[in-house]
Amino acid sequence: MRRCASALLLATALIALSAGPAAGTEDFAACTGLPCAHCHENPAGGGVLTARGTAYAGAVAAGGQRTAPAPLRRYGRGVALFIHIVTAFLWFGTILYVHLILKPAYAAKGLPRGELRLGWAGIISMAVTGTILALMRIDSWHTLFDTRFGVLLCVKIGLFLVMAATALLVTFVIGPRLGKQRGRSPHPGRGEFTPGDLEHFDGREGRRALVAVEGRGRDLTGSGKWPGGSHFQRHTAGKDLTAALGQAPHGEGKLAAFPVVGTLVSSANDRPAPHERGFFFMAYLNLGIVVAVLLVLTLWRL
């Protein structure tokens, strides 16, 4: 339900930001053969209107007939825009859900293949459809660099390229190192656990599912309520759940049936490895970029 709610909220926001008043666009110039300077004081288009542009805008506002764009161009742009928006819903919605609901730590021990495929499909789709839409809108370098629309488009492209670069690093450099044990012998699964030791027993890929509560480590392997080390997609094994249990509808008594396998101890040397710190940095960098892209869309429609 939360995934659906997040996606719906983002979809509503993007629809609102994508919608704008119908007015003279490059379609008018494409159909009439007239330059942008016919309606705008800026030869590159946009900004202050000439007398002819003001008259045209007034006719449109009064319900006058607009010049119809070429059907092939109109429908082609409509298809590209539809795919572009749907991809943004899925891609941005997943990023927001992972960062705000699941938290990036859930993937710090190995990147889920499904999310990798979704992420790269989104990057490719956004690149292709974004290029098509830009080529249909930008008719000269002046439009790209001398108009408000063009400058904001350049900012959006720059943010997208940063996201694509971080995806390359995470997929091919950082990702393969996640989940690999650092240079120490495997923990036997009994006795004293540091937080780092406990993280290995996350219940995934055949590993045992251990959690710590009030300093005691318990083995939840085989529990029907912890399949794959996940408890109703809210909590994961391999962690100290003392604080989380205080907000749960039940107390520690529910865990009494599970065997105690050790105690949790602190460790001053349990600092995350450099590649793990890099993963968290890039994860939250992407969250910031999503917010920045939404801000650009807001400025686009002001």
Residue 36 identity (one-letter amino acid): C
Q: What is the pTM of this model?
A: 0.55
Q: How far apart are CA 184 and CA 194, in angstroms?
A: 13
**Per-residue pLDDT tens over the stretch 213-223:** 888 889 988 88
- Backbone φ, ψ for residue 181 (5° rounding): -70, 145
Average pLDDT over residues 133-141: 82
Strands 260-264 and 191-193 turn out to be parallel
Yes or no: domain 191-264 corresponds to CATH 3.20.20.80: no
**Per-residue pLDDT tens over the stretch 157-204:** 999 999 999 999 988 888 887 766 444 557 777 888 888 788 889 888
Domain ranges of the chain: 82-177+285-300, 191-264
Residue bearing the bigger pLDDT, 236 or 44: 236
Between the alpha carbon of residue 18 and those of residues 15, 88, 159, 198, 300, the distances in Å are: 5, 12, 18, 46, 9
**What was the pLDDT predicted at 114?**
78
**What was the pLDDT predicted at 248?**
66
Q: How far apart are CA 122 and CA 118, in angstroms?
A: 6
Q: Which residues contact 225 (CB under 8 A, 6 or more apart)?
A: 231, 232
Nearest to 102 by CA among 283, 300, 295: 283
Residue 258 identity (one-letter amino acid): F
Please spell the DSSP secondary structure of 181-201, one letter per residue.
Answer: PPSSPPP-SSEEE-HHHHHH-
**What was the pLDDT predicted at 46?**
66
